[in-house]
Amino acid sequence: MTPRPSVPPQLLSLVASAIVLMSVSTAAAQDAGVRCDVARPAAALPDPAACQSAVELRVPADADADQRAQRLVAVAKTRLQAGDQDGAGEALDCAESVLAGRGNATSRHALVRARGSLAYSHGRMPEAKALLECALSLAEAREARDAIASDTNAIGSTLRRLGDYRGALQAFTRSLEMQRAQGKVGGAVFNNIADVYREQGNHEEALRNYREARRFFIEAGKRKDAVHALESMAVVEMAKDRPREAARWLDEALGIYRELGLRDYELRTTGRLIEAALAQGDIAAAARWKATGLAVAAAHPDPLPAVFQWQVARLDRVSGDPSAAAARLRIALADTGDYESVYIELLQELALAQEALGDRAAALETLRRAHAKALKAAGAKHDNQLRWLLTIFQTAERDRTIARLEADNQRRQAEVRQRTLLLWLTVAVAVATMLGGWLVLQRRRQRERLLEAARLARKEEALARYRREAGALAEDRQLLQALLDSREDAVCLLDAEGLVLAANRAACTALGAEPRGLVGVPLSERLSAGDGDALRAALERMEDTTDQQLDLALADDRCWRARLSQWPQGDGLIVCELSVPPVAETADTTIGLPSGTSSARTPDAPVEQGEALAGAGPSEGAATQDTRLREDFRRSLVELMLSSLEAWERSTGSGRLELAEKSRIWRVAVDDGRVRARAMERYLGLSRLPQNPRWRDVVRTGYYVLEHCAMDADVRERLQRQVDTVLAYTRRSALV
């Protein structure tokens, strides 16, 4: 990029002096009326009749001078949009000759405004600013609000080109306010504001304003301007090092350019797509865009845009063909004027291609040329800024000399009024500040009191709910314990991790524990080391199986046959029945089956635990209703798990692994070098949900998120409602 020249301190002091002098002369200029002398000498103007014939002006024979001049200005604008700057200048000279120093305010304003646009297109920013300020004065004199807003916007553009970004933003803001007051907001002012932010490196503000510009262009039916804004957004994304997003927008812009038949813009956008592909390291995609652009260019004899040539040359060099890149760059340099900004980039790319070819001397010479062009461009910009500042200074000096005596008298009178006003203003501001501070403080305290009261109410409500749930759970556990103690065989109720939730007396005796001594203890602690691992592996498989059978050895070498089956109500709990293995099978094995091996059920296997506890099977109609309730229950589990994870991520900014680790509800393991919570991930989709889901762990996850995460009241209420829904399903069919 071209280095931006630093502004000397002397120039800054000159700017400050000019601003002070301009502020002093503002009042006198307002009283004196519109004063802008931009008329050209009559000797430099063409003959009116001859120039109208040369321009081929077609107007009615009875048209007056103002109508002819306005038509000539329109011709000049058309030529300027087509890039014919010389033709536009001839048409404006003819319009001024037709007016001959007369004409109404509308004609004079149109002529001066068009001359300002022509100077802007030539890059003569100080001259353009003076002409546009004169046009603004003419528009203000006749109170033409649309023209005032447009001229202010144009002045902002010249200030941006002169490097005065602060003044440019102020001008654009004034223009936008006037447009909003009239209800006629256009996209051009937002596009200009975005250009300022982009040149200052404020990419986020630039993108926001480009989006606004594009929206207004689309509403106004200006598709060409809208797609230009979209292309500018892509350029900002490239500056932010986000080529993927830029490529998406450029691809959309390319389609619109093709519809509009704008070949030059289409090729320019194709070049930017090559740049985006190279930024992503996708050489193949860049090659495809190159082929697409060359195919379009082959159908037209016009020279290729410099941006497209530049990016194709980059692709050739990166692809290992620097000679083709150098040849293409030389053609592009010959077709590109040295005043264009891309000329320096073309020289720099040519130097890289020459270096790749091994011609370091030529590369060094090319870099010298690029550096010289950059310095020249910086110097020209610096000279423009200096000329503009000198113009401001000279104008201010002239106005100050004319209005010095009158301004001195007015200044003395104003000082007295200002002191009086300042005194009263200081008192009013102090009182207003104190009152405002007191009101803000009271409002903040009231808000804090309301929030605290709401929080306490929610807390009390939650505590009451938890107490009710705890009481109901205690009653259910007592009923379950009584039911298990009524059985003579050894039975335990386990959770999915192997923790004993309930055990009858026979199970405590079989496992060598005191009555109630197994509750809250992992069953694997009573087993040998190898069989403890086998039990844990079997428990992991229980989510998708009905029952399993395996032989387990206790720590004292006693052997028991354990039959694992699902709790019939489908809540993820596991019933473990212990029995002495047959002598014949014991003789054929060592202590139980190999760790983790499940035995097949035999024809004389005991009746399922669900049948023993639930009794006779339901009727066919009841089975259909149970199936429907079970599907609703499974869907509610998945929704609760997804809502809990979403609330956790929004509140903490961390993911599912952190939730599993901190809650200690779900197991986290290393799988193929990756840390995963596989059991938890199965509950995030209905298709992956286990046949025997661990609904208690899902509910515990919801309560953990409710307790430890800060969230909005509606989100908290929705999550609590989902927890209550799951619990309601479980109470219909579960004892615990």
pLDDT in tens, 517-558: 778 788 777 787 677 777 877 877 777 777 888 888 776 777
Q: What is the mean pLDDT of residues 100-107?
A: 80
The whole-number pLDDT of residue 460 equals: 83
The whole-number pLDDT of residue 288 equals: 92
In angstroms, how far apart are the furthest CA atoms of the chain?
Answer: 129
Local structure of residue 340 (DSSP, 8 states): S
Q: What is the mean pLDDT of residues 385-406?
A: 72
d(Cα 161, Cα 74) in Å, to the nearest integer? 25
- Contact (CB, 8 A) for 521 and 528: no
Residues 248-279 pLDDT 10s: 999 999 899 888 888 888 888 998 999 899 99
| Residue 132 reports pLDDT greater than 80 | yes
The whole-number pLDDT of residue 36 equals: 62
Q: What is the mean pLDDT of residues 153-179?
A: 88
How far from chain centre, in Å, is Cα 707? 31
Judge residue 596's burial from the number of C-beta atoms within 10 Å of its C-beta, 0-12 exposed, 13-18 middle, 19 or more buried. middle
- Contact (CB, 8 A) for 198 and 183: no
Residues 6+ apart with CB under 8 A from 8: none
The whole-number pLDDT of residue 574 equals: 80
Work out the number of other CB atoms within 10 angstroms of the CB of residue 206.
24
| Residue 198 reports pLDDT greater than 50 | yes
Q: Could you tell me where the beta strands, DSSP code E, fall in 374-422?
A: none
- The structure tokens listed for 280 are 């992503």
| Residue 456 reports pLDDT greater than 80 | yes
Q: What is the mean pLDDT of residues 229-252?
A: 90
The whole-number pLDDT of residue 427 equals: 92
The whole-number pLDDT of residue 397 equals: 73
The dihedral built from the CA positions of residue 342, 344, 348 and 353, taken in this order, carries a sign that is positive
Work out the number of other CB atoms within 10 angstroms of the CB of residue 588.
7
d(Cα 268, Cα 49) in Å, to the nearest integer? 43
| Residue 393 reports pLDDT greater than 60 | yes
CA atoms in the 13 A half-sphere facing the CB of 612? 16
Q: Which amino acid does the sequence have at 582? A: P
Architecture of domain 487-599: 2-Layer Sandwich (3.30)
Residues 325-334 pLDDT 10s: 888 888 888 8
Work out the number of other CB atoms within 10 angstroms of the CB of residue 481.
18
d(Cα 278, Cα 280) in Å, to the nearest integer? 5
Domain residue spans of the chain: 38-122, 487-599, 629-733
The whole-number pLDDT of residue 205 equals: 92
Residues 637-687 pLDDT 10s: 899 889 998 999 888 888 888 888 888 888 777 766 677 777 788 888 888
Least confident interval from 322-331, 379-388, 602-611, 697-706: 602-611
d(Cα 705, Cα 665) in Å, to the nearest integer? 12
- Contact (CB, 8 A) for 543 and 690: yes
d(Cα 38, Cα 617) in Å, to the nearest integer? 103
d(Cα 179, Cα 409) in Å, to the nearest integer? 38
- What backbone torsions phi and psi does residue 220 show, to the nearest 5 degrees? -85, 0
> Please, which contacts does 315-321 make with residues 24 or more away whose CB atoms are closer than 8 Å?
315/274, 315/278, 315/283, 315/286, 315/287, 315/290, 316/353, 317/349, 317/352, 317/353, 317/356, 318/278, 318/283, 319/283, 319/287
- Contact (CB, 8 A) for 656 and 682: no
The dihedral built from the CA positions of residue 727, 729, 730 and 733, taken in this order, carries a sign that is positive
Residues 430-446 pLDDT 10s: 999 999 999 999 999 99
Residues 562-606 pLDDT 10s: 888 777 655 567 888 887 776 545 444 433 344 344 443 333 333
Residues in the chain, total: 736
- Max avg pLDDT among 129-138, 372-381, 386-395, 623-632: 129-138
| Residue 388 reports pLDDT greater than 80 | no
Least confident interval from 74-88, 462-476, 677-691, 704-718: 462-476
- The structure tokens listed for 734 are 């579960």
pLDDT-based confidence at residue 463 (cuts at 50, 70, 90): confident
Q: Which amino acid does the sequence have at 509? A: T
- Between the alpha carbon of residue 343 and those of residues 33, 219, 269, 307, the distances in Å are 46, 36, 18, 10
| Residue 308 reports pLDDT greater than 60 | yes
Find, among 520, 530, 529, 644, the residue nearest to 594 by Cα: 530
- Contact (CB, 8 A) for 292 and 255: no
Find, among 126, 86, 99, the residue nearest to 40 by Cα: 99
Q: What is the mean pLDDT of residues 361-383?
A: 83
The percent of residues above 90 in pLDDT, for the chain, comes to 9
| Residue 610 reports pLDDT greater than 70 | no
d(Cα 70, Cα 134) in Å, to the nearest integer? 18
- Contact (CB, 8 A) for 296 and 267: yes
The whole-number pLDDT of residue 609 equals: 38
| Residue 710 reports pLDDT greater than 50 | yes
Residues 6+ apart with CB under 8 A from 265: 227, 231, 257
Q: Which amino acid does the sequence have at 64? A: D
d(Cα 689, Cα 692) in Å, to the nearest integer? 8
Q: Which amino acid does the sequence have at 674? A: R
- The structure tokens listed for 276 are 């985006």
| Residue 634 reports pLDDT greater than 50 | yes
Q: Which amino acid does the sequence have at 362? A: A
Residues 6+ apart with CB under 8 A from 72: 52, 55, 57, 91, 92, 94, 95, 98
420 vs 463 pLDDT, higher one: 420
Least confident interval from 3-17, 192-206, 421-435: 3-17
The whole-number pLDDT of residue 671 equals: 65
- What backbone torsions phi and psi does residue 493 show, to the nearest 5 degrees? -115, 120
Local structure of residue 563 (DSSP, 8 states): E
- Max avg pLDDT among 23-27, 92-96, 274-278, 696-700: 274-278
Place of tokens 């009875």: 62
d(Cα 73, Cα 472) in Å, to the nearest integer? 89
The whole-number pLDDT of residue 435 equals: 92
| Residue 21 reports pLDDT greater than 60 | no
- Contact (CB, 8 A) for 344 and 370: yes
Please list the residues that pair with 671 across neighbouring strands: 674
Find, among 480, 467, 500, 470, the residue nearest to 736 by Cα: 480
The dihedral built from the CA positions of residue 219, 246, 83 and 385, taken in this order, carries a sign that is positive
